Structure 1
């Protein structure tokens, strides 16, 4: 495809979105009925603000979902330390809840506007960001073109490019070059990611490592931790976290296989808590007794499963165990984040589909902090071995924690790449007189 045809294709995409704009309302209403949109804040998706824009320079940070939000928290705090206003947008209800729990009050949050010209124009007209920073790999054509037209630098940090995404973009290389070439800077997670972004037209591209390594360990309520620890007593535990459909059934199979031998308590933390009713029903059908965190159920001697059906409490559940299987790796694709359990000294298990965190798993497996399991049977054997072998479990726990420490440094590398863009904003922010509300 020639550059001219690629330009026409992107123009057609933009005008097609204009034509589809009247359908966006019913579409969001449908999603809200399924719990996938915040009904009370739906107008934010059309670019209408629900907060006042403060005086001074502002960086727009977009993090699609929970993992990306967690990754970028230290960077946003550093921007605020420099007196730069930060607006975070996310696209999911769970990420908005996480932002409410984990962010300081001076970091603003809005839902990201739809990638439609009226919504994006309205959003940019109001917020006037000086820089737009996206986390990981999302490319929204209308947004990219609108920012470029307004001469707003757009930077991708913690950027990664999955095998599937790279193949898809590479098949449309001329269109990719029209979009990726508009990025002012890409700060990639790995050398492989950097090479892929360059192949698609991005320049300049630097490498930082994974920002998720530089995040703090997830917090927890110490009183709740003490309460649950007392209820669990000396029972062996293991956790299946960030699970996708099908993996909860595997966790139930593992529990039933091992319960008679170990008195095991299984902790299940689904990636999407709204699925918890169906997960509980499946487990009850299999004869398991379930305690749910949202109900405040007590863990008794005959409780089989603690269902962690809340948002923002991963730190609690991981501190209740020393063995963590990370989901989206057996029945899902791409894998979940192994860094949080590793930094909290858990022995990490995962299925073979971990390409979204390939470098992290390679490091953890090489150092002995993680093991890859092929199927439910192998997972059950690994949980049994680790729960009954204190020395082997302790070696994995130590290796995982040490591996995370070795991988740190991505935040400093990212800030170094951003310096030409944020240093002028820091000077501007500190020279501008503050209002009474900002002082």
Structure 2
């Protein structure tokens, strides 16, 4: 890097640090505000300011996963590492309560991990965290590129790698806009394991120099990892469909679709298991369903013997992947509104036939692959979603065929875990 670029990079970091320190009070207020409805946001706040005991002994590996989906990917890596290196000590960090809950579940399962929140991206906080943690290497999952985290790793000679790397169009535009800051930081990574050739090309264009295509670790996520005490018999209807990871603006459309299904089959009980992306919204969704003239119950309030409610709204964390396996069909949210879609692999891994809305730009390569393989259905609008659901709920053979193609596609594309571990092996401390 020549002198002019070094100066611009230094200036960009200083500007970023001014902004991040102005935002720290805002972030803390945000956590306490969210805690009014989600108590977990008010817990362990000190960890976000680098307070709390450092692990003893120091971990061999530090894996950072921002939230629930990324933590499940981290779990796939951890399980594979534990099989190969049972004495390995691993520190997991995350940003959200959902990510922390999944990390704690991994810990409770007997895996060699500790879990805590990542400190806010302030130079003194991150520097202190790295100094106290003393890890052997850092693995970042997907797109967690915090500038001070990467810079302090470089200053501490801590190997840092990016696994399961992908760039959504929004993030790609952001990193391109701030390439003066992110280019040198990406160049400082020991390696980037990209999900696809397109992702690899984007990372190289932004400044990363050591980029490999390892595939998508989410294809390797085990379907049985999530747990639920519900069984199909708890849902008393003849048919059950699941709408998972839904966003504001989608639920009203899904409720309308379910109303139409109930009207089309007045002598059959069809039920909807509706899981908003943020469970704190469940109470308002239950009220919305009732206003629409349908019966509704929150999952946490279900009668132990089962329910005949038209709509069951999921207000719990960590169950959705297991709940998909109970459905006759599934819709994956974030795709009927301008959000970019959520990961469709969880319902596929659970053996459920999957329908997606039109906006899946966050997983564009994956969805294109799945659609081409006949592994999922993608629809253009609400009316098309209604017809696709109706078809799968009525034509059981068509539903089984779709699920079978999806499983075959999953099997073909598994193996990213082993390729990622091969890249990671040189960064691990010897036994």
Residue 203 in 1 paired to residue 209 in 2? yes
Aligned to 1:61: 63
- Map 1:159-308; keep pairs closer than 5 Å: 159-219=165-225, 224-225=230-231, 229-233=232-236, 235-262=238-265, 263=268, 264-297=270-303, 302-308=308-314
Aligned to 1:435: none
Aligned to 1:434: none
More deviation in 37-46 or 143-152?
Answer: 37-46
Aligned to 2:344: 338
Deviation, structure 1 residue 412 = 0.8
Deviation, structure 1 residue 123 = 1.2
Q: Distance in 2 between matches of 1:315 and 1:172?
A: 36
Aligned to 1:389: 395
Aligned to 2:95: 91
Q: Per-residue CA shift, 1:355-384, capped at 9, x if unaligned?
A: 222222122211212111111111111101
Q: Per-residue CA shift, 1:4-44, capped at 9, x if unaligned?
A: 22321212323554566566654543343453863231000
TM normalised by structure 1 equals 0.90
Q: Per-residue CA shift, 1:154-195, capped at 9, x if unaligned?
A: 100000011121122223333221221121110010001001
Does the residue aligned with 1:216 lie in a helix, a strand or coil?
A: coil
Aligned to 1:76: 78
Does the residue aligned with 1:294 lie in a helix, a strand or coil?
A: helix
Aligned to 1:138: 144
Cα 1:100/1:360, change in 2 over 3 Å: same
- Map 1:280-429; keep pairs closer than 5 Å: 280-297=286-303, 302-422=308-428, 425=429, 427=430
Aligned to 1:100: 104
Aligned to 2:12: 9
Q: Distance in 1 between matches of 2:27 and 2:247?
A: 28
Q: Distance in 1 between matches of 2:233 and 2:75?
A: 32
Deviation, structure 1 residue 3 = 4.0
Q: Is the 8 A contact 1:334 1:355 kept in 2?
A: yes
Q: Is the 8 A contact 2:283 2:298 kept in 1?
A: no
Q: Is the 8 A contact 1:74 1:411 kept in 2?
A: yes
Deviation, structure 1 residue 86 = 0.6
Q: Is the 8 A contact 2:12 2:180 kept in 1?
A: no
TM normalised by structure 2 equals 0.91
Q: Distance in 2 between matches of 1:32 and 1:232?
A: 32
Q: Distance in 1 between matches of 2:26 and 2:405?
A: 52
Structure 1: segments with no counterpart, 5+ residues: 431-439
Q: Distance in 2 between matches of 1:20 and 1:240?
A: 35
Q: Distance in 2 between matches of 1:20 and 1:274?
A: 24
Q: Is the 8 A contact 2:236 2:308 kept in 1?
A: no
Deviation, structure 1 residue 269 = 1.1
RMSD of aligned residue pairs (Cα, Å): 2.2
Cα 1:80/1:345, change in 2 over 3 Å: closer
Structure 2: segments with no counterpart, 5+ residues: none
Equivalenced residue count is 421
Deviation, structure 1 residue 231 = 3.9
